[in-house]
Amino acid sequence: MKVLIGYMLQPHSLKHSQSGFSLLEMVITLTVVAILASLAMPGMTEFGVKQKLIGAAEQVYGHIQQARSDAIASSALTFVKFAATGTTSWQYGISTTNNCDLTATTAATANACVIVVNDGDTTIDGLNGTDTGDRVLMRFTHADYSGNSALEMTLSGLGGGVQFIFDPVRGTLTTAAGQVDLESTTGLQLRVEVSALGRVSICSPGGSVANYETC
């Protein structure tokens, strides 16, 4: 009897007591995950394109605002020049030099798109009180916004020119008003507008991008 009771008190090891996934359950789980991922992918792609467009538009907006402020601060005409508009290979630059060279990739290059920022040293190059170290290259390209969802940039207005020119007294444009349109391959659009008074703003043509005023 003692042997029997001892036997009954022993825990039984069942073959199926261990939990885990069978091969069929694993296949089903992976299939469901793949389906959900495929459903989410278009939305994730569209979100990435939208963020890239917003980043480019805000960058252009900020640089044009900076050019206007620099014109007033430096008491000098300040230019924002654009090239290769109407394509995805655009570029632009800020300079106190008229018609700066957008192919120049170093600040020391003649006619490069640069602004002067005093670095505080005592070196003086020439008679204008600045040195080569004070010259900051202000050239920007499509490179950060290229790839499968490249952005097309189109410049219009400005009396047919390719430069926004800011007056140093009031920060107004010495040209006609103009605009910079940016469009994604999916049709999303943002526009940077500059009025004759120098006011810079962003809007979305047709309201394709939420949280921006429709234009």
Pair of tokens at residue 81: 């020049």
Q: Where are the domains of the chain?
A: 59-214
pTM comes to 0.76
Residue 127 corresponds to which amino acid?
L
Taking 50 as the pLDDT cut, the residues of the chain under it are 1-18, 40, 43-44, 124-127
Element (DSSP H or E) covering residue 41:
helix 23-74
- β-bridge mates for residue 135, sequence order: 116
User: For 103-135, how does the pLDDT look when each residue is reduced to its tens digit (9 = 90+)?
Assistant: 999 998 999 999 987 655 555 444 455 555 678
Largest CA distance in the chain: 115
Residue entry with tokens 């499968």: 148
For residue 1, what pLDDT is reported?
44
The domain 59-214 having CATH identifier 3.55.40.10: the answer here is yes
For residue 155, what pLDDT is reported?
97
Element (DSSP H or E) covering residue 201:
strand 200-204
For residue 63, what pLDDT is reported?
97
For residue 48, what pLDDT is reported?
83
* Mean pLDDT over each residue of the chain, to the nearest integer: 83
Q: Taking phi first (over 0 means left), then psi (-120 to 50 degrees means alpha), and beta for anything else, what does residue 86 get?
A: left
